[in-house]
Structure 1
Amino acid sequence: MGAIEDTYADLETDEVSLDEFREAVAEKVEQMGGLADDETAAMLLAHELQDGEVNGIADVTPEMDEAKFVGKVVSVGELRTFERDDEEAEDGRVLNVEVADESGSIRVSLWDEQAANAAGELQVGDVIRVAGRPTDGYNGVEVSADRVEPDPDTEIDVQISDTYRIEDLSVGISDVTLVGEVLDTDAVRTFDRDDGSEGRVANLSLGDETGRVTVTLWDERTEAVEEFSPGAVVEVVDGYVRERDGSTELHVGNRGAIEAVDADVEFVPESTPIEELEMDDVADIAGVIRSMDEKRTFDRDDGSEGQVRNVRLQDDTGDIRVALWGEKADRDIGPGDEVMFTDVEIQDGWQDDIEASAGWRASVVELADGATTTVSGDDEPSENAETGLDAYADGTAPEAASNDAGGDAADSADTDGDADGEDVEFTGTVVQARDPVILDDGTETMSVETDADVTLGQTVTVRGTLRDDRLDAEEVR
């Protein structure tokens, strides 16, 4: 083969045939006035053809002058017309097509004659080759197509589905229909737009058997947070997926909808064990509430009043203080309830310990008894497994809690280790009702030797002598 044929073979392209490539090389040589031979002209053309090629749709960025990629059509919109600025010009036509590959998805806009032709021919499941100009669109990166050609010989491993599951969502997908259970709702927030109008935004958390996602509602769609309560099953229609701070979110604007449906959805919580949490993590944690402090209010720098309530959450691996901010401090939860806190930020806490902060991005999900606790040691809880605080009522509280009971209690009582002990008074919530009784005041635990009849979740005050990290109660009230 000659230089032209060798260069063409290296291209591995279907955009032009070999004969078309030869003609283009001849034109390039003529354009350059003899400054380039066939080999040089062929290499220049090859570079032009390859410019903009991406490995996957996820690599397309708005900064690119042109992008070329292959993808599978996952949805075809309606052909729409619009008036151009030139009143004498014919109406324009546009067709939006959702295209995906294994790396992600993107919206492709076809215009005028190309849009009209595609509206009658393009089908979901077709594989097409696209060349066009990327832009930063309303739903993320979009491509305004210059050329669209069928590519039936290329295989794209993308699932085509009318209804998505949460695990199927990826950044850039639009026209999403998804059914899920409402796990939590947030308050509506307002903001000022650049044009001076007021916008509204709110979040709710949805779950299904494959995971959990934050749904961001805009303007009129924010009414859903007041219409639906946790436990309701809803269908999101015409949503679109965006990324925020590294997390995938499903957005619903005025073109979308969220409606109640009669369907069975099972949310399976997945959380990070408390003992594995590290500073600066953003995590989902789940367990049993062992104790809850009184709600506190404070003044913000802008003069408004804020509020916070601390709870202590325990799972099979340890326990952690969780700070509930704003309206989350008003949630009707208490000792013995099994809950999941999502998107909490792990921060420095009291006495060099870590704690979890549940701010506006976090959700509070109330779980069924037994959803987070197992006491049999098996992967599945046994038929007689105890749940809630009862799961920790056998004298084998997690090691972290037991250590707190010894070290922190001794420090707070300022004991000197003498056999005579130290007189101590301690108030806390009963988190273990058997021998020994264990109390928790939100910052530390105390092992108590007593014959008094106490119940899980009860708040009691004990007074007695602290010896060897255990309080020998003389009075329980």
Structure 2
Amino acid sequence: MGVIEDVYEDLETDVEFDAFEAAVEDKVEQMGGLADEETAAMLIAHELRDEEAETIADIEPGMDEVKFLGKVTSIGEIRTFDRDDEDDDREEGRVCNVEIADESGSVRVALWDEMATGAAEKLEVGDVLRVMGRPKEGYNGLEVSANKVEPDADAAVDVQILDTYRVEDLTLGASDVTLVGKVLEAGGIRTFSRDDGSEGRVANLTLGDETGRVRVTMWDDRADLAEEFDAGEVVEVVDGYVRERDDALELHVGNRGSIERVDEDVDYVPETTPIADLEIGTTVDIAGGVIETDPKRTFDRDDGSEGQVRNVRIKDETGEIRVALWGEKADAEIDLADEVVVTDVEITDGWQDDLEASANWRSTVSVIDDGSTTDRSRDGSRGDGDSTEATGARSESESLGAFADGSSGTGTNGTDDGTAAGTGGATRAQSDGGAAAATADASGATEAGDSREVEESADDPVEFTGTVVQAGNPVVLDDGDRTKSVQTDETVRLGEEVTVRGPERDGRIDAEEVF
């Protein structure tokens, strides 16, 4: 047996020996005598092994031919087409698209003619196939045009196939996914140019359920769906498929998929991290009251496009932090005294060595309309059990505004003596009569209650001590239980503790003394 035969015998390939031998001879000729037959045979063998895909994630456009193993996760319908070649006297063409997945991802495989018919008649979801074919960049991403497929009943591929998925069930490579979730945020439609010169369109939703949240990416005609839904609505994704971006799973919806509004209840509660526990380099969810807002700023990127950013400062019961809202997030309608939840923010080293939270494309920003949030902070802290909560603490029975269905909770926290504390302008009520009401302006709140009425005339001075959380006009002070708006010409510094004295009118103290 010659050296070419020896190398061929050690090579597991479907390439016929005659073709292999011809390729070796061509390689010897190409190298001008710099390689003998054995070296050339080993080079050809190496090239063939390079086309062996260990996983679906290894498949790339441009490979001449690949072989891989995967589980069938969905089977499309047979479509017919007219062949372009007028000299081809075969009947009309047939194609069936099959999604095949392994632990690393999934790929669409196009089965042609007899293979398409066989798939429709014999193939079932869950079957394991060995596929040989040519990869290419298709309309909806990578696909493989199959030359040969064989069932392998003895092989095991760890890919989960469910009728209905929850967020925690999603795995890379899953397709034909049906998932019900609550809309946490909807983004705008963006356009892009494809390699073939056509224009593509894409938009995103963020959905959450009781097991987590996921970013949903909608392509082309399905991108319009992003404008049909508002935060808080419950929708069902049908025929989605899971991809990975920046080490995070995304649920994609193409032309075969759909998203529809459904009448179901879905609970979503983010697991927030107390601001005092934040660390540089982590990505977390945070919640709190807005104590400072800056105007939106625009800037020029290196590529000539225009970007935008807006800074806000939020505070919970453990501390406060500046949050940079980038891109579309800068357009979020956030005002002083709003309660907000910001998810997937990156904690960075900010100005003057303070920590800063950066909300980018992956983040969601939600304003809690009823002034209540739900505390699922990672340290488990939740108050002292006597019904009194510190500033910014969240009752577990309350719902998360835009994250909830709006049917649970009243947006008030009760205390034994009839008053309640909230963060920066949050609604306050009393538990013994339910008649307490709160009115909040852009910078603070006033309290009223049947059992604790304080009838002060506009000329009676009041005294209030708190930390400066806004140093502009008006000054805003927070004492940990209440937030007060103060009119003064005195200069105060952010973070300074001051005491003001003067008459209070319409919830604002007209300070005659500041010390």
Q: How does 1:64-143 map to 2 (within 5 A)?
A: 64-87=63-86, 89=88, 90-143=91-144
Match of 1:276 in 2: 278
Residues 331-382 of structure 1, C-alpha deviations (whole Å, 9 max, x = no match): 2555262x3223445555332323234355532134683523669x747777
Residues 9-28 of structure 1, C-alpha deviations (whole Å, 9 max, x = no match): 987x7x88xxxx9xx77998
Match of 1:182 in 2: 183
User: What is the CA-CA distance between 1:313 and the residue it aligns to?
Assistant: 2.4
Q: Which secondary structure does the structure 2 equivalent of 1:153 belong to?
A: coil
**Aligned equivalent of 1:441, options 457, 470, 473:** 470
Q: Which secondary structure does the structure 1 equivalent of 2:51 belong to?
A: coil
Match of 2:375 in 1: 372
Matched, 1:251 2:252: yes
Kept after mapping to 1: 8 A contact 2:298/2:309:
no
Sequence identity percentage: 51
TM-score normalised by length of structure 1 = 0.69
**d(CA) in 2 for partners of 1:347 and 1:129?**
47
CA RMSD of aligned residues (A): 5.0
Q: State which drifts further: 225-234 or 240-249.
A: 240-249
**Aligned equivalent of 1:471, options 498, 505, 509:** 498
Kept after mapping to 1: 8 A contact 2:329/2:360:
no
- Counterpart residue identity of residue 437, structure 1: G
Matched, 1:52 2:51: yes
**d(CA) in 2 for partners of 1:229 and 1:261?**
13
* Higher helix proportion (structure 1 or 2): 1
Aligned pair count reads 417
User: What is the CA-CA distance between 1:322 and the residue it aligns to?
Assistant: 1.3
Which residues of structure 1 form unaligned runs of 5+?
Answer: 394-426
Match of 1:148 in 2: 149
Q: How does 1:376-415 map to 2 (within 5 A)?
A: 378=380, 389-391=391-393
**d(CA) in 2 for partners of 1:463 and 1:382?**
39
- Counterpart residue identity of residue 333, structure 2: R
User: What is the CA-CA distance between 1:105 and the residue it aligns to?
Assistant: 1.7
**d(CA) in 2 for partners of 1:200 and 1:46?**
43
Structure 1 residues 142 and 371, CA gap change in structure 2 (3 angstroms): same
- Counterpart residue identity of residue 118, structure 2: N
Structure 1 residues 463 and 301, CA gap change in structure 2 (3 angstroms): closer
Q: Which secondary structure does the structure 1 equivalent of 2:150 belong to?
A: strand
Match of 2:240 in 1: 239
Q: How does 1:300-311 map to 2 (within 5 A)?
A: 309-311=310-312
Match of 1:398 in 2: none
- Counterpart residue identity of residue 235, structure 2: V
**Aligned equivalent of 2:485, options 459, 466, 472:** 459
**d(CA) in 2 for partners of 1:461 and 1:327?**
31
Q: Which secondary structure does the structure 1 equivalent of 2:393 belong to?
A: helix
**d(CA) in 2 for partners of 1:230 and 1:99?**
34
Residues 193-235 of structure 1, C-alpha deviations (whole Å, 9 max, x = no match): 7888776543221112232222233444344333221111101
User: What is the CA-CA distance between 1:290 and the residue it aligns to?
Assistant: 4.1
Structure 1 residues 440 and 361, CA gap change in structure 2 (3 angstroms): same
**d(CA) in 2 for partners of 1:196 and 1:73?**
32
User: What is the CA-CA distance between 1:40 and the residue it aligns to?
Assistant: 11
Residues 273-318 of structure 1, C-alpha deviations (whole Å, 9 max, x = no match): 5443426x6x34221124132x525565599998765322235654
